[in-house]
Each structure stands twice: as C-alpha cells, then as structure tokens.
C-alpha cells in the first residue's frame, strides 16, 4: 500500500504540465523559429510535426537538451539539432515553460 501511495505521488508530481523553471513570456518571444513547424499556438497543421501546446515542460526541456547534445537521432532530429544548437539552458527552459502554458 505504501508503494502505491509513493507511486501515485510521484506520478502527480511528474505529470504537472505547466511547472517549469523557465519564463513563459520570455519563451513566447523566443519561439519565432518554432512557428513554421509547430504552429503559432503550438498546434501543427502538418501532421508530421508534434503539437507542443500543453506538453509537459520537463519533457520538452529533456527533449530539447537531447536534440542539442545529439542524444536523439532519426526522423527530424538533425533539423531540430540545428534549431536548438544555439539555445542556452535558460532559452530551453523558457521555451518549455511557454509551450507548457498553452492550452492543448
């Protein structure tokens, strides 16, 4: 029973979508290069790209860091790596906070 309680608490913490260390307003300003593929409101019009609106901020940060470091490959990874290569950790946190703050 204790394990189940701990598991449920962990799931609750890690599933909070809008809690990010970044600044959503700053992320919005930095999102211009994301718009072509991910849409103006984080919702795509081309199905080969993922929607970002409402996505978990922690997930977005980890994904962007993985693209930047080369930890993700295949698909559009090289395209994403080119876009994120010049982003700082603060930029990535801001973008993650912005997209997490949008309504899915």
Counting Cα atoms < 13 Å in the Cβ hemisphere of 19 gives: 5
Question: Is the pLDDT assigned to residue 4 strictly greater than 50?
Answer: no
| pLDDT, the chain, mean | 87
Q: Which of 56, 69, 61 is nearest to 91 (CA)?
A: 61
pLDDT of residue 2: 61
CB 67 within 8 A of CB 80: yes
In the chain the domains, ranked by start, together with CATH numbers, are: 24-101 (1.10.760.10)
- pLDDT single digits (tens) 23-65: 999 999 999 999 999 999 999 999 999 999 999 999 999 999 9
pLDDT of residue 18: 43
Q: Reduced to 3 DSSP states, what percent helix, strand and coil does the chain have, rounded to the nearest 5?
A: 60, 0, 40
Average pLDDT over residues 19-26: 84
């Amino acid at each position: 029973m204790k394990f189940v309680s701990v598991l449920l608490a962990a799931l609750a913490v890690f599933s909070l979508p809008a809690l990010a260390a970044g600044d959503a307003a700053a992320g919005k300003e930095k999102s211009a290069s994301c718009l072509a593929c991910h849409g103006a409101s984080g919702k795509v019009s081309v199905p080969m790209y993922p929607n970002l609106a409402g996505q978990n901020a922690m997930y977005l940060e980890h994904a962007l860091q993985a693209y930047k470091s080369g930890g993700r490959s295949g698909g559009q990874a090289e395209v994403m790596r080119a876009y994120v290569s010049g982003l700082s950790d603060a930029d990535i946190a801001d973008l993650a906070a912005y997209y997490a703050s949008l309504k899915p």
